[in-house]
Structure 1
Amino acid sequence: MAALLKWARNLTRPPLRPLRFPSAGFELVPTDHILEEEQFDEFKAGQYFPVRIGDVYDSKYQVLGKLGFGTTSTVWLARNLQDHGHVALKVYTRDAPHSREVETYRSVSRANPSHPGFRHVRKALGSFVLHYPRGDHTCLVLEPLWDSWKDLARRNPANRFTEPLLKAGLREVFLALDYLHTECRFCATDIKADNILQEIRDKGILHAFTQAELEQPSPRKFVDGRPIYLSRRFNLPKKFGEVVLSDFGAAVRGDQKRNHDAQPNVYHSPEVMLKVDWSYPVDIWNIGVMSANPRRPALHQIWDVFEGRHLFYGDDPNGKGYSTRAHLAEVIGMLGPPPIDLLQRGVRSKEFFTEDGQWTADIPIPENTSLEAAEAHLEGENKAAFLSFVRGMLQWRLEDRKTAKELLQDPWLNSK
């Protein structure tokens, strides 16, 4: 009914006129300063579409400003001139493997709207193609969202979440994950603070964003005539919305067993590291660990947003960065040795263990580490309850981990 009423209202409203954005008065970034997507090889290869603020795409979406960037896309706030609503445009690079994400969004957007987790996953509103002499670019139309958990933690002077904020957010994340697993049959495989965002309920921040771009145009530079803009942040809203799980570019079917590599390095679950057939429980491990980039101390994810540090890093003592052996050694130090039956299922187990489960990798197991020692902000029964909650996710055997639905009933998560 709400959608019908919105459609009816739009019949009586004339289309908006495109805004005229300043063509001068902006800061010109020095040519020797690498700006945002310019750092990637894909930019050097001419893979990015040259989006310009103020342009109108698909005959109705006027670009209002840049929200972010990545190796396969840039994201922009836009206004639908026909229905007056705001959207986010995800413009893929020319050769980005976007088809799976587009189809995943379509499936997620229609699987079961009556499920309580439906409202906690981001919806696709459509897609279209931008034509360019060097090749076509797919553009995904999404609902706009506010800051990610990563940004939210950084806005807090303490650089960490409070216990009530973490509990409230996790309840909504588990609702989203239960929807993905039980209704959509998808594994996200890439749950991180960057991909957990907040719904926009205070529409004033959308208008403030636009006004700021009109009055203080975003800094930019030009490379071979192509513009690169500095991303703009939304203001702090007067009212916060619900948590929304986003970015399904790495999502795969969960009802099909697989053992290929998945998840960013420091998110790797034991089954991914050992090449055991895996499915939905990889996402549960992912939430339990939720480590950030081990090269910088960004304070986010379930352990990081609450403890202010990472649980696992995987830094190899040979100085060459991340390695599976270093990561496994840290997990053993924290959780104890893996069960023999799990090792027997792993394609890579013989690289690190004997047949009876003895550690053979040429790297020491960290000593004096435990979840109890790692948790530094709770005490007594509350600390014990929190660690029990975390242990429900951080289990060697994937079948021993709790499901999202089971975690929603956890005593610590529901305590006051």
Structure 2
Amino acid sequence: MWESFRDLLYRNPNHRFTEDLLKAGLIQIFLALDYLHTECKLVQTDIKSDNILQEIEDKSILESFTQAELKSPSPRKTVNDLPIYASRRFDLPKVFGRAVLSDFGSAVQGVERRNHDAQPNIYRSPEVMLKTDWSYPVDIWNVGAMVWDLFEGRHLFYGNDPDGKGYSTRAHLAEVMGFLGPPPLDMLQRGKRSHEFFTSDGKWKQDIEIPTGVSLELSEEFLDGKNKEMFIAFMRGMLQWRPEDRKTAKELLQDPWLND
């Protein structure tokens, strides 16, 4: 394996992926998720740029790594009779290998419905935040939110509470409502935490404002015309309040924008 998507993101001076690089990576991610969800019956729950690695296609970086180490060995020290080495980075390859989904330490069986906390904060799906039973669709939401980091160069949701204490579920939910509108009442009725944030008839009851004047269309900055419309439609296939309304990995592989 070469470095992760996160490393590649920061190697790029623009700190964002090109459209072609994003599409190529997403096709590999959806292939992995389709296999994981349908064949392995597993939910990954921790999809982020750190956990997507790239295979080494350009073998010349191995030779240059070896020669660099021979000419100038990495700094090292001994702790408890064991050598500790400083890391040496690979060169940027001339061609990139396949994207590989990694780190399954938090994966769970998808056939068992769960409602425990999961996912990185900014990528948490509505069903995890509201504590409804969740399964495979949490991974789809997770990918949708991560796409914004890779392509737009910033998070779609931050969840920073105005109380100054950092991330909070209520701030995150408010942001999601700003982009997607209020959650469906039937979904709120399934959530064990819904009463903390909403009244019984679905009204927001937290003392935090729902953002106005925001949308996926307004937030997307690098596309235009029909291509932008297709991209937003692709995103909406993943970013839906109800998990059952989201497309599956197999369906997303057939998306027109991804295959344009």
The structure whose residues are more often helix, as a share, is 2
CA offset digits 1:140-188 (Å, max 9, x no partner): xxxxx01211111222222211111111111111111101101111111
From 250, 267, 277, the counterpart of 2:123: 267
2:90 alignment partner, SS class? coil
From 42, 50, 53, the counterpart of 1:194: 50
1:44 alignment partner in structure 2: none
Residue identity opposite 2:138 in structure 1: V
Distance, in Å, in 2 between the alignment partners of 1:239 and 1:324 is: 41
Q: 1:126-205 maps to which residues of 2 (within 5 A)?
A: 145-205=1-61
CA offset digits 1:47-75 (Å, max 9, x no partner): xxxxxxxxxxxxxxxxxxxxxxxxxxxxx
Pair 1:183–1:317, CA change in 2 (3 A): same
Once the two structures are TM-superposed, the CA of residue 216 in structure 1 deviates from its matched residue by: 1.5
Q: Is 1:363 aligned to residue 219 of structure 2?
A: no
From 165, 169, 181, the counterpart of 1:324: 169
Once the two structures are TM-superposed, the CA of residue 237 in structure 1 deviates from its matched residue by: 2.0
Q: 1:188-227 maps to which residues of 2 (within 5 A)?
A: 188-221=44-77, 227=83
Distance, in Å, in 2 between the alignment partners of 1:225 and 1:361 is: 56
Distance, in Å, in 2 between the alignment partners of 1:347 and 1:207 is: 55
Q: Is 1:288 aligned to residue 155 of structure 2?
A: no
Once the two structures are TM-superposed, the CA of residue 273 in structure 1 deviates from its matched residue by: 0.4
Distance, in Å, in 1 between the alignment partners of 2:25 and 2:198 is: 38
1:355 alignment partner, SS class? coil
1:345 alignment partner, SS class? coil
User: Higher Cα Rg: structure 1 or 2?
Assistant: 1
CA offset digits 1:168-223 (Å, max 9, x no partner): 11111111110110111111101111111111122232232233223222234555
2:257 alignment partner in structure 1: 412
What's the TM-score, normalizing by structure 1?
A: 0.61
Deviates most, 235-244 or 145-154: 235-244
Residue identity opposite 1:339 in structure 2: P
Distance, in Å, in 2 between the alignment partners of 1:201 and 1:412 is: 26
Q: Is 1:401 aligned to residue 251 of structure 2?
A: no
1:197 alignment partner, SS class? strand
From 226, 229, 236, the counterpart of 1:381: 226
2:237 alignment partner in structure 1: 392
The structure whose residues are more often strand, as a share, is 1
Once the two structures are TM-superposed, the CA of residue 352 in structure 1 deviates from its matched residue by: 0.2
Q: Identity of aligned pairs, percent? A: 72
Residue identity opposite 1:304 in structure 2: D
1:75 alignment partner in structure 2: none
1:147 alignment partner, SS class? coil
Residue identity opposite 1:384 in structure 2: E
Structure 1 unaligned residues grouped into runs of 5+: 1-144, 291-301
1:341 alignment partner in structure 2: 186
Once the two structures are TM-superposed, the CA of residue 369 in structure 1 deviates from its matched residue by: 1.1
1:104 alignment partner in structure 2: none
CA offset digits 1:218-237 (Å, max 9, x no partner): 23455566554322211122
Once the two structures are TM-superposed, the CA of residue 313 in structure 1 deviates from its matched residue by: 0.4
1:414 alignment partner, SS class? coil
CA offset digits 1:305-362 (Å, max 9, x no partner): 2111110000111111111011101101111000000000000000000011000112
Structure 2 unaligned residues grouped into runs of 5+: none
Name the Cα RMSD after superposition: 1.4
CA offset digits 1:250-308 (Å, max 9, x no partner): 11111110000101111110000000000000000000002xxxxxxxxxxx1122111
Distance, in Å, in 1 between the alignment partners of 2:180 and 2:83 is: 49
